[in-house]
Chain A
Amino acid sequence: MSFLNPWLLLAGLGIALPILAHLLNRQKVKRTDWAAMQFLNRNVRVRSRQIRLRDLLLLILRCVALLLLVLALSRPAWTGDASWLPGERRAGVVIAIDSSFSMGEAGAGTSRFDEALKRVEVIRGEMHPGDPVTLVMLGDQHRVILRNMAYDEERFEQALQELDAGPGALELGSAPKFLADLVTDMEAPQKEVYLITDGQATDWKQPSAQLRKALADLGTQAQVFVVPVPGEAANLAVTGLELVQGVLRKGTTARYQATVRNCGPAAASNIEVQCRVDGVEIDRKNIPLIAVGASETVSLFVPFHNPGATGITAEITGDGLAADNVRRTVAVVRDRVSVLCVDGSTGDAGRVVTAALLARADGVQGEDYVVRAVPWLSLPAENLEEVDVIIFADVPEITEEQAAQLERFVRKGSGLVWFGGDNVKPAAWNKLAASGANPLLPGEIGSRVDTSDALGAGKPLDPEMPDHTVCLPLLSLPEDLFSETRILRQFEVSPRASAFPILQLAGSGLPVLLEQSLGRGQVFMFTTTADTAWNNMALTPVFPMVMQQIVTYLSGREFERPRIVGDSLTLTYVEQPDASDAVFDTPSGETITVPVREVGGQFVALLEEAPEAGYYTARVSVQAAGLPIAVNVDPRESEVACLPEAELRANLEGLGLDVVTGDAELAAAIGTTRTGRSAWRVFMMAGLAFLVIEALFANRLLTRARRRKDQPVNPVPQEA
């Protein structure tokens, strides 16, 4: 026997009160000498004993009533098969439905999520009004729909009708702990957790030791049922849409690459990939065949006729799971891109940089793409307002005014690239651009380091962040070509906490390229030179590829990089905004107002979670123009193949979890395992009954006593 509110048992000490009152009352016996003892004869003595017996009976009734009420409030419960035990078979139920977008798969006509709702109906059939129930949607962020609510059929039905599979992936690792916390909050004679999931192989095939332990812990706190609702494994997904070539300028055409993955068990053929720009189809490609588990890419050419933000979509049709059939990205098309190289070197750093930036098929300098190199002493004469990216190559130092000007330049959304060199005065740069709360440069410049070996050969590069836009084209280079790039000398740089290395020196781990966000812009810092003084980068294909990627990256805009459902969306301000709130419009048309906060000297508005896939619009105020943000589903979730039931059972064996499939098996499992009985009603009724009996009894005695008191006291005649 257990108690759901065991601390209330302390109230049982209250039973001492009537006993104490009884004892105290007994102790207050007043004595008197008495002459008329003959009237207190045997009958009266017997009556006194009866009165004592009655008092004792009243005391017992009060104590029993109190005890029963305390027991009822303590919510006694027990588990066991003994049917003679009083109480109703009750359980607190936590229903957790996998709401990842794989649950939307409907290859067989009915989606997995709808199947899950059918299982919920079976569970509901075994619930009673008043039973504690918690309804959870598991996803990348678990959502509690109903928390520890007394079961009400109508309200529960209403909650169910508003549910649907979400666009996120299932974060299974955190689910057991999340559910365990909910179970702990629940007070019930028996606790049951129903984890209704499609049992995706990606999640359940090889559960980590940590996940197994968390599930086992959950199994100790509640009766856990894993209810698989498997579906078909066939699924095609657009898993990527990236800009691979071209500058986002008006009048140019950029090449985007869409990746389509066949996650199903059979090869897929004739897949049409449509490309839309702002909803208008501008390209369509056919993929003849995608092998099982393979991904195929198609190039989509997107012409930019107008400047401004443009939504680009790659979409396939005819697949059972719609959520991952589309991929979105945003391109912010500029009128022109201007790059200014400030050359402080004694060699030809400026020329090397300019050549690298213009060394592309369509990269001939023109009106809409300007790359200029100027001596560093001419910097004060330049109008930075017309420049998108500034490259400092071996510039000895800058003035304090220039440092402030550059900080504003970056903060408003432009880019800065910094190269080292023999002319650089580290102390001067560190003082003006590498110190303070939000320094301009990503790291503090240290001493020069000779990284060449005994033979005079430098060390090769190693991409620290291979997925970074800057590194992506390098991965396509042949290994030997990439390894030919050698760094002979560099500055030793201590990166800031907010900076992260993109390229580093193989073997030593010394950063070669660092990136840091500042306001709405970015700063790249090379710890070596742009020219060949300290390396041979300029002599290899690596340098133009990296430089062009950097310029494309820096000339892009804040929200060009697509987000994943569940990511946070951050709107960064150059200066303190007039409006105190930013506005995010969701793809479903909802408007979310987010306050602007100052974080680390910057003003940002943070939407903590993008709950759905599609195009969001971020606005600095209600009246301001919006910036589109593309939010896509997590492609990892596209592997919708489910683990076979036997394998799922095998994987969960020994964890104390029951795997039940189908409505009938689920109903039978509930009937078999639900042995928890709640007896508080029985105790409450009994306690109240005793209380009523005691009250009636006491009232009867009181009425008698009053009647006796009201009688005339002197019936004796005065004289005969």
Chain B
Amino acid sequence: MSNIFIDGNEACGAGAIAAGCNFFAGYPITPATSIYNYMLNALPSEGGVCLQGEDEIASIGYCIGASMTGKKTMTATSGPGISLYSENISFAIGSEIPLVIVDVQRLGPSTGSATKGADGDVNFIRYCNTGGIPVYALAPADVRDCYLLTINAFNIAEKLRCPVFILSNKEIALTKKSVNLNSVKLPQILDRVLCTPNDHFLPFATDYDDTAPPFLPIGSETLVRQTSSTHGINGYITIDSKEIFDINVRLQKKVENSLDEFLFYDELLKPDSDTLIITYGISSSSAIEASHMAEKTESNISVLTLKTLWPVCEDLIREKAQDFKNILVIEMNQGQYVNEIKRVLPEKNVQFLGRMNGTLIKPSEILEVLTNENSYK
């Protein structure tokens, strides 16, 4: 099979279909609209559902309702829409509703620039839920990743019963690239674990303290309760502080303790290099190009591209960074994830390169920063 020529948004759509997505709802917003277009072409003709809500709130609401009947659901938006999603994101987290959310980031703040890229929502999606529960977010670095990570996002959402973010960027989403998707090694498709129907079904009961509860769909013979309010394992509002404590701790643990299974990254490690670039998303391509360019001047730069952004893969970062003297974090924003790297690597010299003006960080800029001793030691 030869190469095909598609952009990141088309790859997200193809990934969703490959993962078994059968329900999509969205609201048109540049630069995410073409995911909606893709799903509109792909789903209804195959018996699936694709809807356009009256706004972003309705769109994610449709997904939540459908997910509770057992559908594998996805929605896609950009910064202004993610803001409107936030209350329902909290609902999906707190009430363990599987959902894939693609955030095709554009230049912010606010309405920003519809057709310019940025990675400005990295901290927003981590912290936009009330309660501050950890979330899963995967950041594709190229078109192939959009395909593969969307499939993995569905696996995480189904296994952990939580919303999972794909943190895309206009620069990946709307840039076409020659790719061979047939050569991509696909993960096994996971579906949520079903509970055996019984008269005493407890919708939030688990056998272990770091897993998601087995699921039964609304509409099954066994009655199912779902609620956005603080609930006990029976799905009714509770004031039992022990029960509340246990559930909230479990929401945290099920995300944090699954990192080994859903850890995605790329590395380009060069011998004899004392500099490691840690980056993600579209900036990874600039870092890799800079590393190739540096070869010509016989200097070696290593690159670690993080694809699981949240939760922070602390062990991996420590392991990969241990032999490097200098760390350079590159982001298409004014410094968000660099704070995590500084936290994880307190003993290292961590520098930052990034900006938010709609332009890519150029490979030549990276080399300039690395060779300029005044700004980088």
* A and B assemble together: no
Q: Residues on A close to B: CB < 8 A?
A: none
Q: Show the binding face of B for A, using Cβ within 8 Å.
A: none
